[in-house]
Structure 1
Amino acid sequence: MYKPLSIFLLILLAGCSHMTQPDKNTSMKADDQTSSEQLYWVNSWQRTCQGVGEMLCLQVQKVNQNNPKNPDIESWQLFYAPIEDFDYELGYVYQIRLKKTRLPAEQVPADASSIRYELIEVLDKQADETLRLHDIWALTELNGRDIEPMIAHNDRQQRPSLEFNLNKMQVFGTDSCNRLSGGIEALGQGRIKFGALATTLMACPDMKLADEFTQALNQVKYYQLSDLKLTLLNADEQSILEFKKVD
């Protein structure tokens, strides 16, 4: 009476022996999913950032497939990790292809990123003059007028000037009476966007130059660099401030 049951079990075991075994390639594909390729822009200068201590970080952004030829000057982000095999050079905007790999927890050193970035190829490298702004500039013209006569008749009046610190994305200077400072919110491709500018509150005998300089500075939208000259322009691309580089 037990023979039919025994035969049934033998058939069942034989069928199981022919079931599909796990494919080794399947597990390899699952592992491969921890890696991906991505396109990034890399900006032409570095920003001050805070890691274990203060350091300089690359500025990057993913390539927008709707506009793959130009980065967005307001979309740069600090990049804290190293990029293996990437020989970065200041003064150039890069488009690069990266391999991004998420490492298993047991392979991640203490205080290190769990993601490894490796350069696959440099797709584009273009010289960019924006870094030249990182300097001190003395005003020479205001709204199309030479300011020398305005400076000459008043010994107490300082020449307005600006100092750009691109690592910190800040601007400092004087309006001829008060010191000023503020942030740079966006910069590149001939465009510049200042944040709110703060000034000291000294009252000088003659505030005409200071007031006109500050009003012009608040209208700035574009910049041009030519040799040792910096020109700041308004929304209509009219020159409103001209500076010479200070050695």
Structure 2
Amino acid sequence: MKKKIFLLFVTSILFGCKSNPNNIDLEMKNNNEFIIYVASHFYDCVGVVPQKCLLIKFEDEDKWQLHYDGIQGFNFEEEYAYKLLIKKEILDPNNVLADASSVMYHLVKILDKKIFKKEDLNGNWKLKKINNTLIDDDKIVLHIDTNSLKFFGNDGCNSFFGNTTVISSNSIKFGPLMSTKIFCEEKMKIADLFTNTLQESQSYKKYGAFLEIKSKQNTLIFKR
């Protein structure tokens, strides 16, 4: 009987110590530590007064959010996108000023830091392909201005415009998109697919003179 108990004990130790790629995530949750991504530029925001905010995203979330307070120990440099390990501290509400956050973030470690110049996306881009379909229409264009955070263009039928957020070296958001309302029966299928993909965009890749913008289902290929 003692022999069986000993074997069970040893077995539990061996399997309990087995390497687990998720151990880091479990440890972070237990220690109130999290991985966040920080976009490469400040963004205008309004708290008590107009100010500049970081744009951050938690690793297990899809949405980016404005971060009004700094991260203790973190010196942000524009034109760099970051992946950080941070620790959250809950402050005593009695010691927090009115309208101030009761949560403070502290930098534990910079996990990644990549240079990114959003100005590389500026200018006119002509649509060349939607998924595997070649597009032979020079009227379908997208103009991006990352300085004013605006975009405009033409879908081959209607002119459109809106606001854009260049989040990082591989993530961009367009919308909401406003456009004229001309009906072009022979062009509406491509026009709708083009503008819908823009508004649902999740990632992009720039290589040479080409720009690839992807949503969950579709891919747009542009050329300068």
TM over 0.5, shorter chain:
yes
- For residue 137 of structure 1, report the CA deviation from its aligned partner: 3.1
Separation in 1, partners of 2:51, 2:223:
31
Structure 1 residues 166 and 51: alpha-carbon distance in aligned structure 2, compared to 1, 3 A threshold: farther
Partner of 2:194: 216
Q: Which residue of 2 aligns with 1:138?
A: 125
Separation (CA, whole Å) in 1 of partners of 2:142 and 2:148: 19
Give the aligned residue type for 1:225: K
- Please report how far the alpha carbon of residue 139 of structure 1 lies from its aligned counterpart in structure 2 after TM superposition: 0.9
Alignment length (residue pairs): 186
Q: Which has the larger radius of gyration?
A: 1
Q: Does 1:77 align with 2:55?
A: no
Deviation at 1:171, TM superposition (A): 4.3
CA RMSD, aligned part only?
4.2
- Alignment CA distance shift 1:234-1:38 (3 Å): closer
Q: 1:175-225 CA deviation, whole Å, 9 max, x = no partner?
A: 35533135669976856675563312357xx88668634433324655321
Distance in 1 between the 2:88 and 2:217 partners? 43
What amino acid is the match of 2:104?
R
Match of 1:198 in 2: 178
Q: What's the CA shift string for 1:105-148, capped at 9, x where partnerless? A: 2x4345433443332x2240142759467533321524424545
2:35 paired with 1:57: no
1:56 to partner: Cα distance: 2.9
Aligned mates of 1:138, 1:62 — CA distance in 2: 31
Partners in 1 of 2:74 and 2:221 — Cα distance?
39
Q: Which residue of 2 aligns with 1:42?
A: 37
> What secondary structure, in the 3-state scheme, does the structure 2 residue paired with 1:160 have?
strand
> Shift of the alpha carbon at 1:81?
1.0
User: Structure 1-normalised TM-score?
Assistant: 0.54
Matching residue's letter, 2:206: L
> Which digits, 9 at most, give the CA deviation of each residue in 1:37-74, with x for residues without a partner?
4223132234432213333322334444xxxxxxx4x2
SS in 1 for 2:193: helix
Give the aligned partner of residue 124 of structure 1. Answer: 111
> 2:100 aligns to what?
112
Counterpart-to-counterpart distance in 2, 1:139 and 1:186: 19
